[in-house]
Amino acid sequence: MKKIRQVTFFKSYPGSWPQCLLRCFSRAGWKFVLRHGWKNWGGALGVISEIRQSSLVLIWNPSEPGGEMVRRLCRNAGVPFLSVENGLLPQTGHWHFDWSGIGSESSLMNKLEWVTPRMLAVADRYVARHFSSNGWNYRGRGGYVLCPLQIEGDVSITLDSSFPTMQAFVNHVCQVRPDAKILVRPHPKRKDQKVFGLNVQIVTNKSTMELAVDAEEVIGINSTVLYETTALGVPTIALGRCPLAVHTSPDERRQLIAAAVNNQFSVDYNDLRRALAHFGILL
């Protein structure tokens, strides 16, 4: 297997990124190159040159501007690449790898026959520890439908959703669940989000998962928190284009959760090594 010497990390916009990658790759003796957009990459020729020097390219959510071009250049140069995004179980403190893309472009949209019994068992234990450490046990006694909101300008909404606004999303839920009490949880980064509707109540004093434990049902678009509610055992519907909307049976959902756990990593060096090894890349 080819020994990797340089890894290039591409992100469309400046901002937060998993800095643990720099620490982990540096520890393994690799050169780590971070590029934001095209301007500080020296234009098209600079991009091509940088990619050809790389043994691996990491692309932060290739659905964002420039991501598809980087993928195309990697294919032309024969350089392996992986998509990177925030984790799925949970999002905080974890990051997710995928050889295909993120959201509707994810390889998890496909059949998950590669998920082994061992992966299922590992995921079951991981999920049990995660929920136990947070004190979350599904009860479903609240008598309400929970709707987690998302950020309207995010590519998961603009590209992978039929709802132009969160109000349109809530209007749809009110139509399909006309007699239900609907609790709406604003996105943690948009706590001032406002939506309206009969039987609709906005809740900000509890987290989505604290509300989910007593929800009769969770209806969302394609938020990563839907993976957590699914793993917790809450009846969960995803209305956007995402793996949860494709894999809907209990067995398929269990496979999906196992695949998500397998493909993510934390800030731990050994956990990063494990996740990369699944894609044939050795630190």
Could you tell me the CA-to-CA distances from 102 to 88, 109, 249 in Å, in that order?
A: 11, 10, 22
Q: Rounded distance, CA 272 to CA 88, Å?
A: 15
| Beta-strand relationship, 264-265 and 95-98 | antiparallel
Q: What is the DSSP letter of 240?
A: S
Which of 2-11, 192-201, 272-281 is modeled with the greatest confidence? Answer: 192-201
Distances (CA, A) of 100 to 59, 63, 143, 176, 180: 11, 11, 39, 33, 38
Percentage of residues in the chain having pLDDT higher than 70: 94
Global pTM value: 0.88
Whether residue 243 contacts residue 256, with contact meaning beta carbons closer than 8 Å, is answered with: yes
> Mean pLDDT over all residues of the chain?
90
How far is it, in rounded angstroms, from Cα 158 to Cα 164? 7
Identify the structural domains of the chain with CATH numbers, from first to last: 6-113+263-277 (3.40.50), 126-249 (3.40.50)
Q: What angle do CA 237, 117, 114 make, to 5 degrees?
A: 70
Confidence of residue 14 (pLDDT cuts 50, 70, 90): low
Residues 6 or more apart whose CB falls under 8 angstroms from that of 108 comprise 98, 243, 247, 256, 259, 260, 263
pLDDT digits (tens, 9 = 90+) for 127-172: 999 999 999 999 999 999 999 999 998 889 999 999 999 999 999 9
Report which of residues 244 and 28 the model is more confident about.
244
Q: How far apart are CA 199 and CA 187, in angstroms?
A: 20
Say how far apart CA 168 and CA 147 lie, in whole Å: 12
